[in-house]
Amino acid sequence: MPLGLPSHLAARTTTRAVARAGHAIAAVSLVSVGIVGLSVEVSLPEVALWPALLALLPMLALLVMLDRTPSRFIAGCYVVIGGLGVYLSTLIVSTELGAPIAYDDYVVQLLKLALMMVVGVTPKARDAIAWTTLGYVAGELATFAALATVGAGWQFDGTPLAIYLAIVGTLAVVGAERFTTRASQSALFRAARDEQLAEVRAVFESRATALLHDTVLNQLAVVTATPDARLSREVRESIAADLAMIVGEEWFAVDAPSDGTAGAQRAELLRRAVAEAGGELEVTLAGDLDALETLPRETADELVRAIAQCISNVRRHAQTTHAEIVVGASPEELSVMVIDAGVGFDVAGRSGGRLGVGSSIIGRLDSIGGAATVWSQPGKGTSVMLRVPTGVPRR
């Protein structure tokens, strides 16, 4: 599973985080100016500073809107109306105090900081830098115009410029890092995609190998075992059905989980598959056959094919006339035991090279999240336990 966010989401998330941090700083700056104004209003009742605070309320409202629903329009309104609010507030304070407020007064610096913190409304770092620059210019122009109105001269204040450069530097680093990580992130996603494709390919290769054994090899064995080379109608129909399935490509179709509508027929499908695989072999079915209804269609199909392969192995190798199939179920899994009292074989010595056991049974169940266990000893028969989950098969 790939680590990290996709590049487009990572860009949006990073810029959004920086923007929200800037908006929080702007809100704190405006609230701090309000607290200072109220304190002066209480200390000097003869000085009316409340109009200056009212001039900042539209700026605060636009800041909240910008944080919740960022857009270029709201950002533009914030810069323009905010700049006008800074102008009016600076002008009112200077007029009420009877002297121009200092150009580097911390209240003025907080107002400029609030304007710069408009930051960005798009995932692009250069757009965020552009909006920050507009906020810085608007703050400088607003305070310059207000102080010029009351007759004060312009003075350079390095603090807002230093803050502006720090913000721009941070945004530039974020943008540069985004370019450097994009290539490596794409490589991660390509590797994850290749891994997923390899897993899917392995599943289908295992299924194709099992199908080859179940159809072509088994049918060839039947043909070679026919004494006069005359195939019965049942054998011909079975071969035709196998060819139709292979050509029609139904064997690798992934089906959705069953809703139970076809579940009632699965016991009959199992009986038919066992009868075709067993031939003259007498097979006893016991246990909870209705539990097959709880399986997704793909799981049920693969399980039935694995059971049929077990019966085919009994017919061809066990040298016995009888086999037994017992079905059991729990809320988490369904299990099937296939038992015969035939000649048996050495599991450790032969199972690794037996295509029918390795691919048609063990590999097939592994591809759907199940498992197969084989117990056998020479002269003591064979037992095969098949277990599959009752939920959706894994990938």
> Cβ of 199: how many Cβ atoms within 10 Å?
12
Tell me if 116 sits within 8 A of 136, measured CB to CB.
yes
Picking from 369, 294, 307, 388, the residue whose alpha carbon sits closest to that of residue 340 is: 307
Considering the domain architecture, whether residues 178 and 58 belong to the same structural domain is answered as yes
Do 169 and 293 lie in a common domain? no
- Domain endpoint, select from 139, 172, 188: 188
173 and 34 in a single domain? The answer is yes
**154 three-class SS:** coil
Domains of the chain: total: 2
Per-residue model confidence as pLDDT tens for the chain (395 residues): 444 555 555 556 666 777 788 889 989 999 998 898 888 888 888 888 888 888 889 999 999 998 888 888 999 999 999 999 999 988 888 888 877 887 668 888 899 999 988 876 666 778 888 888 999 999 989 988 988 888 877 777 888 889 889 888 888 887 776 666 555 555 666 777 777 777 767 766 666 665 665 566 566 665 666 666 666 666 666 666 666 655 555 555 544 444 444 545 888 889 888 888 888 889 999 998 888 888 888 888 889 988 988 998 898 888 899 999 999 998 889 999 999 999 988 887 764 445 456 667 887 888 888 999 999 989 889 999 999 998 755 44
Determine the Cα–Cα distance for residues 286 and 293; give it in Å rounded to an integer.
16
pLDDT on residue 324: 94
Whether 262 and 184 map to the same domain: the answer is no
Residue 379 lies in a domain: yes
What does residue 325 show for φ and ψ, rounded to 5 degrees? Answer: -120, 125
We report the CATH number of the domain holding residue 323 as 3.30.565.10
Asked whether residue 152 is domain-assigned, the answer is: yes
Say whether both 53 and 180 belong to one domain: yes
Q: Are residues 176 and 317 in the same domain?
A: no
Is residue 2 included in any domain, yes or no? no
Looking at the fold, whether 40 and 175 belong to one and the same domain comes out as yes
Q: How far apart are CA 273 and CA 360, in angstroms?
A: 14
pLDDT value, residue 284: 93
Last residue of a domain, one of 188, 205, 225: 188
Return the pLDDT at 43: 86
Continuous segment of H or E residues that includes residue 68: helix 57-68
Give the bridge partners for 285, in sequence order: 325
Q: Is residue 230 part of a domain?
A: no
In a domain, 194, yes or no: no
Give the number of other Cβ atoms within 10 Å of residue 22's Cβ.
27
Residue 230's H or E segment, with its range, is none
pLDDT score, position 52 = 87
- The three-state secondary structure class of 228 is coil
Per-residue tokens: 108: 């003025």
Question: Is there a single domain that holds both residue 170 and residue 283?
Answer: no
- Judgement on whether residues 184 and 263 belong to the same structural domain of the protein: no
Helix axes 266-278, 297-313, angle to 10 degrees: 20
Residue that is last in its domain, among 160, 188, 216: 188
Tell me how far apart the alpha carbons of residues 283 and 297 are, in angstroms, rounded to a whole number.
Answer: 24
The closest alpha carbon to 319, from 363, 380, 240, belongs to 380
Strand order in the sheet with 371-376: 282-287, 322-329, 333-340, 382-389, 371-376
Cα-flanking dihedrals φ and ψ of residue 214, to 5°? -70, -30
DSSP 50: H
Is residue 223 included in any domain, yes or no? no
Integer Cα distance of 290 and 307 in angstroms: 16
Instruction: Tell me, yes or no, whether 213 lies in a domain.
Output: no
Cα–Cα distance for residue pair 55/66, rounded to 1 Å = 18
Residues forming a β-bridge with 251: none
| Residue whose entry in the numeric block shows the structure tokens 């990580």 | 181
CA 323/CA 260 separation, integer angstroms: 29
Beta bridge partners of 372: 386
Residues 273 and 374 reside in one and the same domain: yes
Query: Residue 231 domain-assigned?
Result: no
Q: Which domain holds residue 70?
A: 7-188
Residue type, 150: V
Same structural domain for residues 175 and 304? Answer: no
Quick one: 156 and 12 in the same domain?
yes
Provide the pLDDT for residue 222.
59
